[in-house]
């Protein structure tokens, strides 16, 4: 394994070369989307062991640290895997990777670092991509950003409102549009969802961020997954979503949910 600071520097350079919007294409391949792992090293190891195989792309949806018992080991493991498989494994940003941009709580991983390690980890993880697309699917951590077109995700500034929507946004099974927010987390309803999905030309959103999962909303077009059983003492079902590339995906009914 690489020395810690060398690993972070190499990963940071790799993330700088990736777009904020990862576009995945390919025939007879599949994409496996992975929800929050939150210090659940066992979950990450199982996903990598099972799915980091030929003709498969892996997309983790953020929140690799805090809450669980093995945050440091989990993020180190995932960064190592990313450097070994840069074209097959993608790590998106969640709100718990945004320490350089906006402080939050709980933050047991971040508060346990000395000042220099905190700075380097924060700078590295602030460079993570924000979203991924594959055919009719868009995937990200929280909610859809209110931008004019999908490609504008590449230009989103850290700390901006569209950035906050992606990293902190929640969904509510309500007919409304913007529903305000709780604890600094913006909340959106079906009206907002349908408007943005129509604008982006996508059929299905796969996201994480909320541990009450797996859960479908909006006629099966908004799928929440969670891949950690180490969330604040809760024993959430560890689930990934497997999506075939080159197929017409209309809703969660076209996705295979697999327990890890």
DSSP secondary-structure letter at 156?
A: P
183 inside domain: no
**Length reported for the chain:** 260
Q: How many whole angstroms separate alpha carbon 51 and alpha carbon 56? A: 7
What integer pLDDT is reported at residue 232 of this predicted model?
58
The CATH number linked to 38 is 3.60.21.10
Burial class (CB in 10 A: 0-12, 13-18, 19+), 203: middle
Cβ-based neighbour number of residue 149 at 10 Å: 9
Angle at 221 between CA 218 and CA 150, to 5 degrees: 115
**pLDDT tens digit string along 237-259?**
799 999 999 888 999 999 999 99
pLDDT of residue 179: 63
Q: Which two tokens stand for residue 152?
A: 């504008």
Task: Note the pLDDT of residue 236.
Answer: 64
User: Does residue 16 form part of some domain?
Assistant: yes
pLDDT band at 14 (very low <50, low <70, confident <90, very high): very high
Residue 81: inside a domain: yes
Q: What is the mean pLDDT of residues 57-79?
A: 97
Q: Does 194 reside within a domain?
A: no
| Nearest alpha-carbon partner for 158 in 107, 93, 71 | 93
Percentage above 70 pLDDT, the chain: 95
Residue 180: C-alpha distances to residues 61, 141, 188 (Å): 23, 18, 8
Identify the residue whose tokens are 């017409």. Answer: 248
- Written as six digits, the tokens of 17 are 């070369």
- Position 127 scores a pLDDT of 98
Output the pLDDT for position 80: 98
Give the Cα separation of 89 and 56 in Å (integer): 9
Q: What is the pLDDT of residue 237?
A: 79
Please indicate, yes or no, if residue 152 is contained in any of the structural domains: no
115 in any annotated domain: yes
Task: Tell me what pLDDT residue 177 has.
Answer: 78
User: Does residue 202 fall inside a structural domain?
Assistant: no
Q: Give the tens place of pLDDT for each residue, 76-89.
A: 999 999 999 999 99
Q: Which tens digit of pLDDT belongs to each residue from 182-208? A: 556 889 999 999 999 999 999 999 999
Phi, psi dihedral angles at 240 (to 5 degrees): -120, 160
Confidence of residue 26 (pLDDT cuts 50, 70, 90): confident
The CB density around residue 174, as the number of other CB atoms within 10 Å, is: 14
Residue 31 belongs to domain spanning: 4-138+209-259
- Residue 161 to residue 207: CA distance in whole angstroms: 18
What is the average pLDDT value for the chain, to the nearest integer? 94
Continuous H helices in 27-141? 41-51, 71-84, 108-111, 115-125
Residue 223, SS3? strand
Domain count within the chain: 1
12, 22, 99, 202, 207 from 199: Cα distances, Å? 32, 18, 31, 8, 18
Tokens, residue 185: 């987390």
Per-residue confidence (pLDDT) for residue 77, from 0 to 100: 99
Give the pLDDT confidence of 101-155 residue by residue, as tens digits.
999 999 999 999 999 999 999 999 999 999 999 999 999 999 999 999 999 999 9
| Burial zone of 56 (CB within 10 Å; 0-12 exposed, 13-18 middle, 19+ buried) | middle
Contact 150, 134 (CB under 8 A): no
Per-residue pLDDT, 181: 58
pLDDT score, position 221: 99
The pLDDT of residue 233 is above 60: no
pLDDT value at residue 235 = 58
Q: How far is CA 43 from the centre of its chain?
A: 15
Residue 160 belongs to some domain of the structure: no
Higher pLDDT, 234 or 108: 108
**What's the pLDDT band for 13 if we cut at 50, 70, 90?**
very high
Please, which residues have CB within 8 angstroms of residue 133's CB and are 6 or more apart in sequence? 21, 22, 23, 24, 139, 150, 202
């Amino acid at each position: 394994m690489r020395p810690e600071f060398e690993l972070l520097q190499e990963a940071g350079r790799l993330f700088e070369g990736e777009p904020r919007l990862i576009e995945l294409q390919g025939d007879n391949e599949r994409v496996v989307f992975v929800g929050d792992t939150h210090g659940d090293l066992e979950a990450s190891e199982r996903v990598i062991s099972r799915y980091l195989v030929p003709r498969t792309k892996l997309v983790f949806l953020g929140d690799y640290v805090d809450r669980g018992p093995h945050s440091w080991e989990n993020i180190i493991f995932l960064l190592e895997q990313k450097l070994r498989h840069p074209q097959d494994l993608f790590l998106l940003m969640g709100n718990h990777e945004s320490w350089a941009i906006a402080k939050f709580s709980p933050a047991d991983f971040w508060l346990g670092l000395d000042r220099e390690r905190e700075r380097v980890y924060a700078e590295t993880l602030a460079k993570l991509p924000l979203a991924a697309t594959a055919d009719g699917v868009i995937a990200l951590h929280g909610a859809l950003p209110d931008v004019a077109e999908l490609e504008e995700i590449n230009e989103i500034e850290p700390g901006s409102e569209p950035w906050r929507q992606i990293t902190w946004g929640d969904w509510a099974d309500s007919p409304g549009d913007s529903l305000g927010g709780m604890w600094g987390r913006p909340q959106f309803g079906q009206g907002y969802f349908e408007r943005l999905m129509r604008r982006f030309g996508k059929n299905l959103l796969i996201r994480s961020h909320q541990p009450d999962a797996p859960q479908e909303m909006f006629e099966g077009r908004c799928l929440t997954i969670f891949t950690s059983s180490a969330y604040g003492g809760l024993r959430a079902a560890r689930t990934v979503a497997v999506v075939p590339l080159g197929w017409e995906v209309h809703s969660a009914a076209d996705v295979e949910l697999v327990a890890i």
